[in-house]
Amino acid sequence: MAKKGVSTIIAVVLAIILLVVGLVIGLFTASYVLPAPEKIEYTIGLAIAVSGPYAVDGPNRRDAALLGVEHMNDLLEAAGSPVTFVPIHEDSKGTTEGALLAFEALTAAGAKVVVGPLSSGEVGAIKSFCDDNKIVSISPSSTSAALAVPNDYVFRMPPTDIPQAKALSQLLGELNYTDVAIIGRNDDYGKGIANMFEDLFETNYGGTVEKLLYTVPAADYATEVGELSTTVATLGVAPTTAVMIIAFDDDGLNILTHAKDYPTTLGAVKWFGSESLKRPSFIPPAAPTAIGGFLVSVELTGLFPTPSKGPVVTAFEEAYKAKYNRDPTPYCYFAYDAARVACMSVLTAAEYDGEVIAKVLPKVCENYLGASGYKKLDANGDCAGANYVVWKVVLEAAEYKFKDIGIWDFATEKLTFY
């Protein structure tokens, strides 16, 4: 009985001690609140042209990139993360000089990763700067094969022009065209597509290609269009003759303005275009009705790297339209993904350092399925491949639009019309 009494006393004492300790802990935690995690801000540069040749579509792409950053911030906030991404935009003006100035300004503002620039000419201008200063560039629309270089700081969300040239040559070959007159920009982009198309079309389909490459920028291209008309007449105005145009907004619209004045040559054959022609600036209401009518009459047809419709694509389209009250244009999908990949690479790197970000970015892309499709990169840091939708300019219900009429499958290289 004595032992039992001692045990009871010990148990009571222990209970009292535990109660007191609990009260002390409770009072301590009630009076002491853990400090909130210190906020961390990372700069995401946007070197996206919104003037010059990109005055029409540039703002659309910039807004898509901003939406990508916004969605990443929403996700981080929901997770209780102290990290916030701060976008800073600089207008690269669509020029080589403007692109370099934009990158210098963004770097001075602290950016280690930049979405942009848009064109291959701009990318070529900033490549050495990025490599020397270890600044990551993620272009949403540069495609020149001449810039496909391994182990640099330039990454590109679309595939290069190699599959585009292959698909274009196959498209014209399977449609039984034998003679093609090309009018295109005399830069890396224009020359790249023109030369690759010529080699493939003549080798694989026995066709004839005549190239007219023009210098950009220029005040007017009336002389070049006149030469194009003569070339078409020489090839022969026939159902087997076609024109291919490789142009951007300013030069392309000028060329089309003159082309419509040659109804018996340039207006009497079918036209095909590079992916750069699938821009709202080429059709009404942005373009004059006369140009829209000309494009419909010559059935301007081209290709564009496009993912299959799915939940990710639909979610982006709905979010973009809800925020900006307009539909996204083709390269908006790539700009959105470029911004998302930029943010995700910074998070994965766990430090804001361009060299580390460049190392982890390919792994991020390998595990990223975005609005523009699967973003796995090749050895050169460019999107490894994509399917290409075949589009044609049409007028339906008093509206000019790019209508999808087929698809070229990247994996099988099979062309199928809807």
| Residue 22 covered by a domain | no
Tell me which residue of 225, 198, 203 sits closest to 214, measured CA to CA: 225
Segments of the chain with pLDDT less than 50: 1-6, 9-21, 23-32
Six-digit token string for 40? 């961390």
Q: Cβ(279)–Cβ(249) under 8 Å? A: yes
Residues in CB range of 87: below 8 A, 6 or more apart: 43, 44, 45, 46, 65, 66, 69, 339
Domain that holds residue 330: 40-158+309-374
pLDDT on residue 219: 94
Question: Measured between alpha carbons, how far is 72 from 214 in angstroms, rounded to an integer?
Answer: 42
| Residue 191 covered by a domain | yes
Q: Cβ(413)–Cβ(166) under 8 Å? A: yes
pLDDT on residue 350: 85
Asked if 229 and 345 sit in the same domain, the reply is: no
pLDDT on residue 25: 41
DSSP count for the chain of H helices, then E strands: 12, 15
Asked if 58 and 46 sit in the same domain, the reply is: yes
Asked if 277 and 368 sit in the same domain, the reply is: no
Asked if 277 and 168 sit in the same domain, the reply is: yes
CATH number of the domain to which 183 belongs: 3.40.50.2300
Asked if 398 and 253 sit in the same domain, the reply is: yes
